[in-house]
A and B are shown apart, each in its own frame.
Chain A
Amino acid sequence: MIVLGALPAGVGLFFLVRLLEGTFQGSMTINVLFEEAAKFALFVLVALAARAGHAAASRKILLHEKVTLLLFALLCVVVFGITENILYFVSFPTSSIYKRLLYSYPIHLNTALLYALGFLSGRASSFVLYFIICSLYHLGLNHLSLRLPVAGVYAFGIANLVFLLLLYWRVRVKLIERSIQECWNPK
Chain B
Amino acid sequence: MNKTDIELTLRHFLKGYLRTRLANRLITYALLNLAVYMLLLTVMILADSSLFVFHLLFFCSLSLLPLFLFLGMERTSLRRIVRAIDEHCLVESYLQTSSAEHRSFMQERVESHLARKKSDRTFPFRLFTANFYLIGLCLSAFVFLQAVSLITLRDFTTPFSAQNLKTKLLERGALQKAIAELPVEEISRVDSSATEEQRATAGGENVERRAGKDLNDKALEELLGDDTMVAKDRIDRLSPGDLRQEPDQGQEQRDTGWNYQALGTESDTDPEKTQGFPGDEGQEIAREGRGAEAGSSDVGRTYEESPLRKYTAIPEQVAAKGSEVLSPTGNLAEGQKRIFLNALFADFAIQTNLRITFNPLFDSIRERYLELLDERF
Q: Which chain A residues have a beta carbon within 8 Å of chain B's beta carbons?
A: 3, 63-64, 67-68, 70-71, 74-75, 78, 81-82, 85-86, 89, 93, 95, 97-98, 101, 105, 109, 168-169, 172-173, 175-177, 179-180, 182-184, 186
Contact = CB atoms under 8 A, between A and B. Distances in A.
Contacts of A86: 56, 59-60
Interface string B38-75: 00000000000000100110011011001101110111
Nearest to A168: B69
B73 A82 contact: no
Given A86-B60, A89-B56, A93-B52, A180 B73 contact: no
Contacts of B66: 74-75, 78, 109
Contacts of A75: 66-67, 70
A101 B78 contact: no
Nearest to B52: A93
Contacts of A172: 18, 73, 76
Given A81-B63, A101-B63, A105-B63, A179 B78 contact: yes
Contact of A182 (B71, B78, B97): B78
A176 B56 contact: no
Contacts of A177: 11
- The SS class assigned to the B binding surface is helix
Contacts of B56: 86, 89
Contact of A183 (B18, B60, B82): B82
Q: Which of B15, B77, B79 has the most CB of A within 10 A?
A: B77
B231 to A, nearest CB: 69
B286 interface: no
- Find the residue from A89, A98, A177, A184 having the highest chain B CB count within 10 A: A184
B11 A82 contact: no
Given A78-B66, A180-B11, A183-B82, A64 B59 contact: no
Contacts of A89: 55-56, 59
B27 interface: no
A171 to B, nearest CB: 8
Contacts of A63: 77
